[in-house]
Chains A and B, each alone.
Chain A
């Protein structure tokens, strides 16, 4: 004990934690099986030391307010770790403590009984989780409202769709607010609206909870939520540390073909901030007459010479452009190195003022961010040079704004090279 005072800062500590599965018992499920094994001379294996360590030597310390993300392949012991923290079974080796705090595994529909109504199942589920009746009664209206089940709350759970069950389960779990919340792949419940609501509720929860441990196959979710990451591999700790570092390495190992940008998207670092309206204004002076700059923007063959960020090109055959108000604009860019094709979002011309002004509006696709608006203005400086203003309004996070600005600058750099 180096510092007893320091202990109060901690919420969950595991030291050399091990969980063992006894294959001997696991296998002996029916008499026939056991007898067959003994008859086959496999008695020693049946009765012998066949055990399997689902977790071994796992050590980590979570301070209050920490969110631990657990990553690893299927069967690496992630769920077992949550179960042992929740106290579903005791550790078979090492030590684990939550310093007396209750740790609850948030899974959907804990202990639901199909014959009971939704309302009755709220009571049942909460009772399994050890909450008192009065606690449930004070929350029940909020739970029902959040679940959006309406009158179906009085119908047996048997009649519910998977989505309804999941909504009810999620609603019960987040409203009971255990001190330490353990989450095992529960997001992605319900429709987009409910998902947004759940995400918000979880964020509120995290702000209040002592600590949280979450298991997810979505690195984006982990990257967004976790303050520390534990990477399990075959029941052992492969890496444990800061989210960015561990996740980066984990992704490197798992998706070594992804480039950095895609990894950034997967880890959610692109999505961390709230999406808001962003304005980007870039002004450039090109050493070319205004007519030429205008043509570079409005003629397919000219556009194909420069469109695309550095490292990408837009072959003329991939470009669709109908330069008049209401006309379509569509481009697919091709990576110079590996030939990867990425179709960009389509847009519609809103205004076309010959050699002066061009307004494009992105078409909002299904489930995509709201379309942005780009306004390009062309001014003749009189000395054979042209000043171009590009004003873009888009719905992006702050970080994505910076990326978009860099992309636009890169685009205009290429135009400048082309016109020079």
Chain B
């Protein structure tokens, strides 16, 4: 009596008395567009993740919110002491010169490293809930962007004792930072997706960034780079970005719009490629983390 029932069932499909429409063929572009729309629907989660992480990141420290000011200033102080005082290099406004680049570099570093950690740290949520995973790197980029805008304000104040007063040019930080955010988001998508599959990514990225820090004109002016390397050197988008920030803060002049335009186009390409890479891999996140 029980034997025929326990045998592998004769026709399991009989349980479904109709046909389901065949699933649409998966295409990366269609998936990516679907993800963009889903992400837009989850704006509420994005806002909440950003605000809660900004609120809690320093909540267990004595200085708390003060670290928003202290972080860039102490970083600046390290290099000012080392290069300005010990090596006796740099102009009088050297602290402003490096702080301008440091806060911009921090935006990149904070956003990408935070994104790489986020895709691992939120693994429980990823395994339980169907939410657009792009929210995770995006929230890190936005958080880092908030830090940057705050630090930019600090920079304008710090510059005053050096005889550099804020001007209307400072408002141009918005388009410049926007270009950098686009670039940063692309990098963050790429690195956070890769890190799920290859946990060495964060370590490798740490060293790449440290090298990038010295290969970018943070601590020295581009004029220090020998002319024959300049063509290659200028391919680094941060040459243009730092130049643009310094122009509006220190020189009260327009940034180099043409090279900024090229960087903007390159950043958009980086964002699209990084996002496609992320979307391609994200379906597997929940299976791997």
- Interface residues, chain A, with chain B CB atoms under 8 Å away: 1-3, 6-7, 13-16, 21-22, 25-26, 28-32, 57, 59-61, 83, 86-91, 94-95, 97, 104-105, 107, 110-111, 113, 115-116, 120, 123-124, 127-130, 132-133, 237-240, 245, 249, 252-253
Let me know if B130 and A240 touch, CB within 8 A.
no
A1, A14, A29, A110: the one within 8 Å of B129 (CB): A110
Residues of chain B with a CB closer than 8 A to A1's CB: 18-19
**With A29-B197, A29-B198, A239-B6 as contacts: A128 and B129 at CB distance below 8 Å:** yes
CA distance A22 to B9 in the complex (A): 28
Whether B23 lies near A91 (C-beta < 8 A) is yes
Given A86-B128, A130-B131, decide whether A30 and B198 contact each other with a Cβ distance below 8 A: yes
CB closest residue in chain A, given B288: A26
- A22–B284 touching, CB < 8 Å: yes
The number of chain B residues touching the other chain, given as a range, is 35 or more
Say if the beta carbon of B5 comes within 8 Å of chain A: yes
Known: A83-B286, A128-B129. A6 touches B18 (CB 8 A): yes
Once bound together, how far apart are the Cα atoms of A91 and B17, in whole Å?
21
- How near does chain A come to B58, taking the closest CB pair, in angstroms? 11
What's the least CB distance linking A208 to chain B, in Å? 21
Whether the pair A88, B127 counts as a contact (CB closer than 8 A) is yes
- A16–B13 CB distance below 8 A: yes
Given the complex, which residues of A lie within 8 Å of B288, measured CB to CB?
25-26
Q: Which of B42-50, B64-72, B78-86, B149-157 contacts A (4 or more CB under 8 A)?
A: B42-50
Residues of chain B from 129 to 149 with CB closer than 8 A to chain A in the complex = 129-131
Give bound CA distance, A127 to B22, whole Å.
Answer: 32
Cα of A115 to Cα of B61 in the assembled complex, Å: 13
Give Cα A239–Cα B6 distance, bound, in whole angstroms: 7
- CB pair B18–A3 under 8 Å, yes or no, is yes
Task: Tell me what chain A mostly uses at the interface: helix, strand, loop, or mixed.
Answer: mixed
14 extra A-B contacts, CB within 8 A, seeds A128-B129, A240-B12: A25-B288, A61-B17, A88-B128, A88-B130, A89-B287, A95-B23, A104-B129, A120-B52, A127-B44, A127-B45, A237-B9, A239-B9, A240-B9, A249-B6
**B residues in contact (CB < 8 Å) with A:** 2, 5-6, 8-9, 12-13, 15-23, 26, 41-42, 44-45, 48-49, 52, 56, 59-60, 122, 124-131, 197-200, 283-284, 286-288
Contact partners of A240 in chain B: CB under 8 A:
9, 12, 15
Q: Tell me the bound Cα distance from A55 to B48 in angstroms.
A: 35
Out of B19, B26, B42, B60, which one reaches A130, CB within 8 Å?
B42
CA A105 to CA B22, docked complex, whole Å: 25
Q: What separation, in Å, do the CA atoms of A50 and B248 have in the docked complex? A: 55
Cross-interface CB contact of A60 among B5, B8, B16, B17, cutoff 8 Å? B16
Chain A residues contacting B8 (CB-CB under 8 Å) are 238
Q: How close is A309's CB to chain B, nearest CB, in angstroms?
A: 27
- Report the bound CA distance from A397 to B79 in whole Å: 79
B43 nearest CB across to chain A (Å): 10
Q: Which residues of B contact A88 (CB under 8 A)?
A: 126-130, 286
Expressed in whole angstroms, the Cα–Cα distance for A111 and B124 within the complex equals 7
CB contacts (< 8 Å) of B17 on chain A: these are 2-3, 6, 61
- Bound-state CA distance A149–B6 (Å) is 48
Residues of A within 8 A of B42 (CB): 127, 130
B178 to chain A, nearest CB (A): 26
B15 contacts A107, C-beta separation under 8 Å? no
Q: List 6 A-B contacts (CB under 8 A).
A: A14-B16, A26-B288, A86-B129, A90-B26, A127-B44, A237-B12
Contact of B12 among A25, A59, A83, A95 (CB under 8 A): A59
Nearest B residue (CB) for A134: B44
CA A184 to CA B75, docked complex, whole Å:
48
Contacts of B44 in A (CB 8 A): 127, 132-133
Inter-chain contact A89/B286, CB cutoff 8 Å: yes
Q: Which residues of chain B are near A59, meaning CB under 8 Å?
A: 12-13, 15-16
By the criterion CB–CB under 8 Å, are B56 and A113 in contact? yes
A89 to B130, CA, bound (A): 7
Question: Could you tell me the distance in whole angstroms from the C-beta of B192 to the nearest C-beta in chain A?
Answer: 16
| In contact, A128 and B45 (Cβ under 8 angstroms) | yes
A240 to chain B: closest residue by CB = B15
Judging by beta carbons under 8 Å apart, are A25 and B284 in contact?
yes
Asked if residues B199 and A29 are in contact (CB atoms below 8 Å), the reply is yes
Q: Which residue of B lies closest to A54 (CB)?
A: B287
When distances are taken between beta carbons in the complex, the residues of chain B under 8 Å from A21 are: 287
Other-chain contact of A115, B56, B131, B198, B200 (Cβ < 8 Å): B56
Q: Separation in Å of the A169 CB from the closest CB of chain B?
A: 11
A19: nearest chain-B partner, CB-CB: B287
Question: Which A residues are in CB contact (< 8 Å) with B23?
Answer: 91, 94-95
Q: Which residues of B contact A124 (CB under 8 A)?
A: 48-49, 52
| Residue on A nearest B43 in the bound complex, by CB | A127
CB of A130 within 8 A of CB of B283, answer: no
Tell me, rounded to whole Å, the shortest Cβ–Cβ distance linking B38 to chain A.
Answer: 9
Closest to B121 in A: A113
Looking across the interface, which residue of chain B has its beta carbon closest to that of A105? B128
B286 touches A249 (CB 8 A): no
With A29-B197, A83-B286 as known contacts, state yes or no: A252 contacts B2, CB within 8 Å.
Answer: yes
Which residue of chain A has the shortest Cβ distance to B16 in the bound complex? Answer: A61
Given that A29-B197, A29-B199 are known contacts, is A95 also in contact with B15, CB under 8 Å in the complex?
no
Query: Of B48, B60, B122, which is in contact with the most chain A CB atoms at under 10 Å from its CB?
Result: B48
B198 interface neighbour in A31, A57, A97, Cβ under 8 Å: A31
The answer to whether A110 and B128 touch (CB under 8 A), given A25-B288, A127-B48, is yes
In whole angstroms, how far apart are the Cα atoms of A345 and B268 in the complex? Answer: 76
- How far, in whole Å, are A133 and B42 apart by their CA atoms in the complex? 11
Of chain B, the residue at the smallest CB distance from A20 is: B287
Q: Which 6 A-B pairs give the minimum distances between C-beta atoms?
A: A87-B130, A111-B125, A127-B45, A115-B56, A95-B20, A31-B200
A13 adjacent to B20 (CB under 8 Å): yes
Docked CA distance A108–B62 (Å): 33
A95 touches B21 (CB 8 A): yes
Residues of B within 8 A of A116 (CB): 52, 56
Q: Which residues of B are found within 8 Å of A3, using beta-carbon distances?
A: 17-18
Contact B20 A15 (CB under 8 A): yes
Most buried by A among B2, B130, B200: B130
A14 to B13, alpha carbons, bound, how many Å? 9
- Taking a contact as CB atoms under 8 Å apart, the answer to whether B22 and A95 are in contact is yes
Q: Which chain B residues lie closer than 8 Å to A6 at the CB level?
A: 17-18
Are A15 and B286 interface neighbours, CB within 8 A? no
Bound complex: CA A65 to CA B200 (Å): 48
